[in-house]
Structure 1
Amino acid sequence: MQVTSLSLEAFKEMDYWAVEKYNLSIELMMENAGLQLARLIAKKANESSVITIGVGNGNNGGGGLVAARRLAAWGFNVNLDLVVPITKDLPKAQLERALLFGAKEGIPETTDIWVDAYLGFSQRLPLSDAFVKSIALANASSAFRISLDIPVGISKDGELLGFKANQVMTLAAPKTILEKLPNEVEVFMADLGIPKSVYEHFNIKMPNFKEHQLIAL
């Protein structure tokens, strides 16, 4: 019997399987995730919108930095909340590109769209003080809030104890933890480029990405 969603542990295995069996690099999936995130953000933005993207030192942050680069290339005002030093090779390379394309470091005085690409599915609670401070600023602002993959600070029961997302763009497959989000939170699913055989291996139906790379759930 097919499953309709994946636990975070199962998705980690799926992600690893795609890398190991199909040579689907983390960098390529990061590019796919970041492009889809940029498209979702652009739907909520206008020419004068101020966008802040919060990133950590991991692959989720790297996806946020790809989105920052894409949005800056399209002419948007993009700012980066760098909560911790970006030292890992892939996120560091993405940060350098984003800055070259026109993204700026620092949190602006006002933000219209605040994006949570802080930690993703590898997050561990409790969060460090630095992340708690940034999340508090985001939640206290009037910004529309979007999370990449899963909101930072989410509980095992889907309660938004951290970043109060209005939208979530999850990656590749539905996540069980997101099924318990409040009804007003919009959830989208983005194509990472994972082949159908991987979905079959994990006994979950492949979404109709051939027609829609970004699907509303």
Structure 2
Amino acid sequence: MTLRYLTANLAQQIDEELMGAAGAFSLDQLMELAGLACAQTLATVYPRERYSRVLVGCGPGNQGGDGLVAARHLAMFGYKPTVYLPKLGSKEIYKRLHSQCQNMDIATINTEDDLRRRLEESDVVLDAIFGFSFQPPIRSPFDTALKLITDSKLPIVSVDIPSGWNVEEGNKDHVALRPDVLISLTAPKEGVRGFKGRHFLGGRFVTKEMERKYQLNLPEYPGFAQIVELPSGVSQKEKL
């Protein structure tokens, strides 16, 4: 059966049910599993022997929380991550995740100049800036950050939805990141149907009951892996 792609409303509904009686997960659990899947994806495509220096861009929401978890796991995998955090999230969980990174001696930068310099010293970017709840326009300082990341020509791994993309219509404004790798969480979103790069599914936490209820038709995860690779779609040029 065909894998289901989620609208913004359906993705939000599933998230709420995962943390409600149907799933009984805490936000901490979901972020930990999602961030681990993101770190595994980057490590699968970009081995640390050649791509050890990772710039992890984190927004102030839950997407950024996933990025902070991923940065911590990447450090444990032997990578050398740096967190770009122009705006610290206000939730207590976000502050704790950031403290965990600091306890792992992971550097945090927050200025445009620091970002420009660190991009010159990095091998790959993990994009966890905007999530599926993003609404345009892209505001400062994130508009400049996305341009600097794009101009760096570094390979990009995006979390769930590439930053700046509309969750249902994709990169319709042509101002967003165009990643080489995408890690969809729970299930892929409508806006990435035409994504051509390597596409992975992660977040091995969806209950069997929920999968049946929403007819997600998720693929089997291999062994103990937290990710599974999906077929690529049409080229981004064709889609644009």
Conserved? CA contact 1:69–1:99, under 8 Å: no
Please tell me whether residue 179 in structure 1 is matched to residue 193 in structure 2. yes
For 1:180, what is the secondary structure of its paired residue?
Answer: coil
User: 187, 190, 196: which one pairs with 2:208?
Assistant: 196
Preserved CA contact (<8 Å) 1:112 1:142? no
Alignment partners' CA distance in 2, 1:53 and 1:3: 29
Q: Which range is displaced more, 87-96 or 145-154?
A: 87-96
Q: Which runs of 5+ in 2 are unaligned?
A: 110-114, 231-240
Deviation at 1:94, TM superposition (A): 0.5
- Partner Cα separation in structure 1 for residue 165 and residue 155 of structure 2: 18
Q: Please give the residue correspondences for 1:158-169 in structure 2 after superposition, counting only pairs within 5 Å.
A: 158-159=170-171, 161-169=175-183
Aligned residues: 215
Counterpart in 2 of 1:39? 40
Alignment partner, residue 234 of structure 2: none
CA distance in 2, matches of 1:117, 1:146: 9
Q: Which residue of 2 aligns with 1:157?
A: 169
Alignment of 1:110-125 (within 5 A): 110-125=121-136
Aligned-pair distance for 1:87? 2.4
TM-score for the superposition, normalised by structure 1: 0.91
Paired residues for 1:80-99 under 5 Å: 80-99=83-102
Inter-partner Cα distance in structure 2 for 1:127 and 1:62: 19
Counting only pairs closer than 5 Å after superposition, residues 1-217 of structure 1 correspond to structure 2 as 4-21=4-21, 22-43=23-44, 44-47=46-49, 49-106=52-109, 107=115, 108=118, 109-155=120-166, 156-159=168-171, 161-181=175-195, 183=196, 185-209=197-221, 211=223, 212-217=225-230
Letter matched to residue 163 of structure 1: L
Conserved 8 A contact 2:185-2:201? yes
| Cα offset, 1:32, TM superposition | 0.3
CA contact (8 A) 1:29 1:192 kept: no
User: What secondary structure is seen at the aligned counterpart in 1 of 2:55?
Assistant: strand
3-state secondary structure, aligned to 2:193: helix
Percent sequence identity over aligned pairs = 27
TM-score, scaled relative to structure 2: 0.83
Q: Is the 8 A contact 1:149 1:168 kept in 2?
A: yes
Instruction: Note closer, same or farther for the CA distance 1:3–1:86 as it changes in structure 2 (3 Å cut).
Output: closer
Gaps of 5+ in 1: none
Instruction: Tell me the amino acid that sits aligned with residue 211 of structure 2.
Output: Y
Deviates more, 1:86-95 or 1:64-73: 86-95
- Whether the aligned pair in 1 keeps the contact of 2:130 and 2:164 (CA below 8 Å) is no
Distance (Å, rounded) in 2 between the aligned partners of 1:36 and 1:3: 19
